[in-house]
């Protein structure tokens, strides 16, 4: 019997949240409650989307009583409020204490480590605690698994993510800040079979990507993939790279010095700098006629051979929303008996997901 309670989406008018709400309305029969702090932005979201199954709720995840009440009347909660290094684990704890399944699209390793402490609670409450269900990690994890299942000799994986601009001019900032806050928590990459701390901003490579992206400067930013993919495959190296755009490396040097993860004044300062740089880059991209297309490339390497697979998404928001929508639909349909902390690799068949991406992707390619 289908659960008649709605799906609650936190951060519903942000970059990922907006696409998740739309995806849920298109792919599931469930009513949706879009939650967020800003009444004007919630109202704007409601005007964009069909209203027959959509309701809005003014909700700040820092307000624990209000969040508990919202969870009480929900069937499942999707958390799209970033950066997850800030309040992600606290939000997940309240959802799990409310005995509701939880899904997020986080990439920060510190968030994953905090969620590990909630695994026993989720099992006790008999619910799923799903993280890393976005584009990178998430789609990247499944694309890597797709390659490695066909190329078991591979010992190294590199994931690359690039986009010209965010899908919406007023969104995407939280995902950037998530990566910046992560710099203070010593994220690790898998190198020579060991997890090695990476000083974000020091590892930069120039990579030739499939069209329409071409040659791009890529910055190494470890994600949850480095902690989870090697548990499924015998890799010695796994590294994740993001296109830098026009971001100057001095910003990351300043971040390492200021530690905005510990000092609120430093967080506000870095937040302001990044907002200005992001607005400038978006304006330039729009003026140049560049669209919101996003590219995910995964390369698996053995000693004498490399194989590559790529997905060109319609935009980065859609890429981030694909897995939360699918997981919410399948969870409420009773597809899985598993409980506790999981990632998409634990729940989904890579080939099934790749074949079901539909119009979220413009092109699937390989070399």
**pLDDT of 91 over the 50 cut:** yes
Q: For the residues of 341-359, what is the DSSP string, one character each?
A: EE-HHHH--HHHHHHT-GG
Provide the token pair at 5. Answer: 């309670």
Any idea which of 141-150, 180-189, 291-300 has the lowest mean pLDDT? 180-189
Quick check: 169 pLDDT over 80?
Answer: no
Give residue limits of the domains in the chain: 7-133+321-348, 139-316
Asked whether the CA dihedral 162, 167, 173, 177 is positive or negative, the reply is negative
Average pLDDT of the residues in 181-189: 80
Separation between Cα atoms, residue 199 and residue 221, nearest integer Å: 9
Which overall architecture, per CATH, does domain 139-316 show? Answer: 2-Layer Sandwich (3.30)
pLDDT at 161: 96
Q: For the residues 303-307, what does the mean pLDDT come to?
A: 95
Question: Domain 7-133+321-348 in CATH: superfamily?
Answer: NAD(P)-binding Rossmann-like Domain (3.40.50.720)
Choice among 136-145, 276-285, 314-323 with the minimum mean pLDDT: 276-285
What pLDDT, on a 0 to 100 scale, did the predictor assign at position 268? 78
The reported pLDDT for the residue numbered 172 is 54
**230-275 confidence digits (pLDDT tens):** 999 999 999 999 997 766 666 667 777 777 777 778 777 777 777 7
C-alpha separations of 43 from 11, 253, 305, 365 in Å: 13, 39, 53, 39
Model confidence band, residue 1 (pLDDT cutoffs 50, 70, 90): very low
Task: Give the model's pLDDT for residue 168.
Answer: 63
- Cβ burial of 60 (10 Å; 0-12, 13-18, 19+) is middle
| Mean pLDDT taken over the chain | 90
Mean pLDDT of 66-91: 96
The model carries a pTM of: 0.92
285 versus 41: the higher-pLDDT residue is: 41
The bridge status of strand 54-58 relative to strand 32-36 is parallel
Q: For the chain, what is the radius of gyration of the CA atoms?
A: 19
Q: Residue 2 pLDDT > 70, yes or no? A: no
Highest-scoring range by mean pLDDT, 80-89, 182-191, 195-204: 80-89
- Per the model's pLDDT, the better-predicted residue between 106 and 174 turns out to be 106
Say which residues have a Cβ less than 8 Å from residue 162's Cβ, sequence separation at least 6: 209, 213, 216, 218, 242, 243, 294, 295, 297
pLDDT of residue 249: 67
Burial of 301 (0-12, 13-18, 19+ CB in 10 A): middle
Band the pLDDT of 106: cuts 50, 70, 90: very high
Angle between helices 109-116 and 84-97 in degrees, nearest 10: 30
């Amino acid at each position: 019997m289908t659960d008649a309670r709605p799906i609650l989406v936190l951060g519903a008018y942000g970059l990922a949240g907006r696409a998740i709400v739309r995806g849920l309305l298109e792919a599931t029969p469930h009513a949706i409650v879009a939650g967020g702090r800003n009444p004007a932005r919630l109202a704007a979201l409601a005007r964009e989307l069909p209203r027959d199954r959509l309701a809005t709720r003014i909700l700040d995840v820092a307000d624990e009583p209000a969040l508990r009440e919202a969870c009480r009347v929900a069937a499942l909660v999707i958390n799209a409020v970033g950066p997850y290094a800030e309040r992600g684990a606290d939000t997940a704890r309240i959802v799990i204490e409310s005995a509701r399944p939880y899904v997020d699209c986080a990439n920060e390793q510190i968030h994953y480590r905090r969620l590990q402490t909630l695994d026993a609670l989720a099992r006790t409450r008999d619910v799923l605690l799903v993280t890393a269900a976005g584009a990178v990690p998430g789609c990247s994890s499944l694309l890597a698994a797709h390659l490695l299942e066909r190329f078991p000799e591979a010992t190294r994986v590199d994931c690359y993510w690039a986009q010209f601009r965010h899908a919406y001019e007023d969104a995407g900032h939280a995902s950037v800040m998530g990566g910046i806050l992560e710099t203070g928590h010593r994220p690790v990459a898998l190198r020579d079979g060991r997890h090695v701390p990476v000083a974000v901003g020091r590892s930069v490579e120039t990579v030739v990507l499939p069209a329409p992206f071409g040659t791009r400067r890529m910055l190494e930013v470890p994600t949850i993939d480095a902690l989870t993919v090697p548990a499924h495959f015998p890799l010695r190296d796994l590294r994740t790279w993001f296109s830098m755009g026009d971001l100057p490396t001095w910003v990351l040097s300043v971040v390492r010095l200021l530690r905005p993860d510990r000092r609120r004044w430093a967080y506000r300062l870095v937040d302001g700098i990044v907002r200005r740089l992001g607005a400038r880059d978006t304006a330039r991209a729009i003026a140049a006629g560049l669209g919101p297309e996003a590219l995910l490339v995964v390369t698996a390497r053995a000693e004498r051979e490399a194989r590559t697979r790529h997905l060109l998404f319609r935009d980065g928001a859609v890429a981030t929303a694909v897995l939360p929508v699918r997981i919410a639909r399948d969870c409420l349909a009773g597809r899985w008996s598993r409980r506790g902390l999981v990632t998409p690799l634990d729940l989904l068949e890579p080939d099934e997901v790749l074949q079901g991406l539909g119009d979220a992707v413009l092109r699937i390619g390989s070399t």
